[in-house]
Chains A and B, each alone.
Chain A
């Protein structure tokens, strides 16, 4: 806590050259949720013309701090100063009045409305849709964020939806913009475009508070960084003078082990085969899958990259058997056609699945961990069920074993799933399946929202499992993760899957193009033209 009030009062304190007027200062912010101290005496100062990164692992207290700055939460203690004067920001409306805008990680747009209508909902005062559309057009072209005000949001790709959020924020002419993980849904190209906009905004004197897990980006565009750990500010730095590795170790407070990937060797037998798998969209906003082909051999990790909501969830459901495909041969596990078989039969065939959503899909929040083991393993002859009766002592045994082998940390033995942190629960959910030593594992977003240490452990386990002879399919939006674990990489875009190519020959740029649906001679023809099926 040595940095705060000093730096706030004196721009020259510390080792950093920081110019620009002080815009928003938070001093000694403390926020308690029950016994948990989410923010402990946190201070931060945001200056005009500066992109200020807020770094920290999940649960470090970043979102709490941001919510306090934006007026969505009230601190228990501490003060906020706007341009040097004490203020009380009691609601987001008040924050907007001061000139603070926010672009959320999860979109707050109505899919059935047009762009202009969505923006009209957020702006104070009454403006006709026509006048507003004119302003939207002007602001969006000014900043290189072209938008069609009349387009229905449901029809827009995710990258454009984010533009809507940003333009909505810009129309309020804010002096400070808070951005929560803005690039997590963007292709590399869209990300570059966003950075140009951000640089232009800072040149005009706007301050930006930038929250991201992508340390490369932070190093590239941020002028200053505040790093949080366990609810406290642990250090500040100039990210351009750091490396992603040093930033990461500041966040975690320890060195992170590198993931080792021994070479794959010659491809083994085909273990998971997906052949000409098609499925209609299962709702107005679902994605239809078209002729998906993919073969995974024993010993290899194949990753599917793609921007959110391009058919990853649908593909996962069809492979796991939560949804059945039209033909039995569309999905084969060790040569056995399982396309028309349910999830437990596929598990008995040797497959294991880890869905994206941990709470509510992979695990039941209100049930104990041992009971959550029964959830996915009652059908695979693990001795968990005898004559219709659940063997609870066997479940408890397995729970202890998984807890030990996969380093799942908990406050007391066998707690409810909801009480575990994201990283620990993910270690449990992954461990529950790895413990079966599956021949095929399909895992959707293996380290989504998981702290760096746990993420490295999980990735290492996936690679080790493959090298021991299993087939591993990873679906992920995180390119760093994909390059870390994958032997081959395929890209999903609007329900179509590109050919899986060796990871060494893949580049980020090429993945970006494939994500946008641009295909070339290497991939099956007919991509890019896919539209939403009703």
Chain B
């Protein structure tokens, strides 16, 4: 017996919807096995990991705080990946968004009025977009591989931030801690509800999802994105420019990552620190694929991955597990998502290795 992949003549509608759920199911099964192997009760561990974050108002607010950047970045990346532009550097664009956006309250702390926050948000988006411009330019001008350049620029951005908060932007009243000054009240993204910490970043995320969903499914630009990703030669025949598409995809996903960055800093952290992201930009790659590169799908995928962050923290506290467990779960999830995507265009068949009549032929 062996397995054979058989190509379908068209995409399977059923599996385009079912494949993320199959992937989640497989992740849960293998997660349970993992917990059992390290000697924890699988049922309890999975409950703590995936259910307990949903059981209190406090944790729901935390979930919104964690999911919002994932959704914002993931939605931008899904569009970028659909057009076959592989922006792996959203983490760097997130950081640069945070840095550019924080310029007002840190460099000009005396300017305090209602225009500061909108300006910060615009500068955050511009910072992310400008940072994403670099790999797009290198790709279109010199044909460099954007996966490498965008990824390497992440480390440049992280070290730049690290240098800023230890050097020129260090809080003069901060006892030499590597932190910027805390933001004044006009520079803080307000909370949405009285009941908790969730800030307007969550609203931005929902708006971005709706906007991109419309862009992708209804507009000529969305059509162009699909064509560029699936058949670049046909795109040229349709009169679409591949270079313009690369810039569009990188600038848009960079701007959204920058928006996520400034929202996180001005909403949740309220100052710059050496590290402002627990890897949102990378996790958002999983979010984009788990959401099947569809903005609405990304909304749910972002929430699920947000749960995995919270569950990971919970598991550290309650079960004494390493925080690496979160990474393991996210890795498994991405692996199964990509594997299950195969089902959309292929069906699996079991075939016997050789028909008996032919096998007998030798004598």
Contact = CB atoms under 8 A, between A and B. Distances in A.
A320 B354 CA distance: 51
A267 interface: no
B227 A375 contact: yes
Contacts of B230: 364-367
A371 B223 contact: yes
The 10 closest A-B pairs by CB, nearest first: A86-B361, A344-B239, A419-B9, A364-B231, A375-B238, A416-B10, A343-B239, A88-B358, A361-B233, A88-B361
Nearest to A79: B357
A379 B218 contact: no
Counting chain A residues whose Cβ lies within 8 A of the other chain, the interface size class is 35 or more
Contact of B237 (A77, A371, A376, A385): A376
Interface of A: 33-34, 74-80, 86-88, 320-322, 342-344, 347, 353, 355, 357, 359-367, 371, 374-376, 378-379, 385, 388-390, 415-416, 418-419
Interface of B: 6, 8-11, 218-223, 226-227, 230-231, 233-234, 236-239, 347, 354-355, 357-362
A343 B241 CA distance: 11
B347 A361 contact: no
Contacts of A416: 9-11
A390 B237 contact: no
A416 B362 CA distance: 45
A416 B16 CA distance: 15
A366 B234 contact: no
Please indicate which of the listed interface residues B6, B226, B357 has the most CB atoms of chain A within 10 Å of its own CB: B357
B215 to A, nearest CB: 9
Contacts of A357: 233
Contacts of B233: 357, 360-361
Contacts of A353: 237
A235 B358 CA distance: 26
Contacts of A75: 355, 358
Nearest to A366: B230
A320 B221 contact: no
A88 B227 contact: no
A144 to B, nearest CB: 38
Contacts of A359: 231
Nearest to B236: A322
Nearest to B220: A385
Given A79-B358, A376-B238, A390 B231 contact: no
Contact of B355 (A76, A360, A374, A389): A76
B357 A77 contact: yes
A346 to B, nearest CB: 9
B237 A362 contact: yes
Given A385-B220, A388-B220, A415 B10 contact: yes
B55 to A, nearest CB: 42
Contacts of A86: 360-362
Contacts of A375: 227, 234, 237-238
A378 B361 CA distance: 59
19 contacts: A76-B355, A78-B357, A80-B358, A88-B358, A322-B236, A360-B231, A361-B233, A361-B234, A362-B237, A364-B230, A365-B231, A366-B230, A367-B226, A376-B237, A385-B220, A389-B219, A389-B220, A416-B11, A419-B9
Contacts of A389: 218-220
B54 to A, nearest CB: 37
Contacts of B220: 374, 378, 385, 388-390
Given A77-B357, A361-B234, A367-B230, A33 B221 contact: no
Contacts of A79: 357-358, 361
A24 to B, nearest CB: 13
Contacts of B227: 364, 367, 375
A361 B238 CA distance: 9
A390 B219 contact: yes
Nearest to B349: A34
A98 B149 CA distance: 52
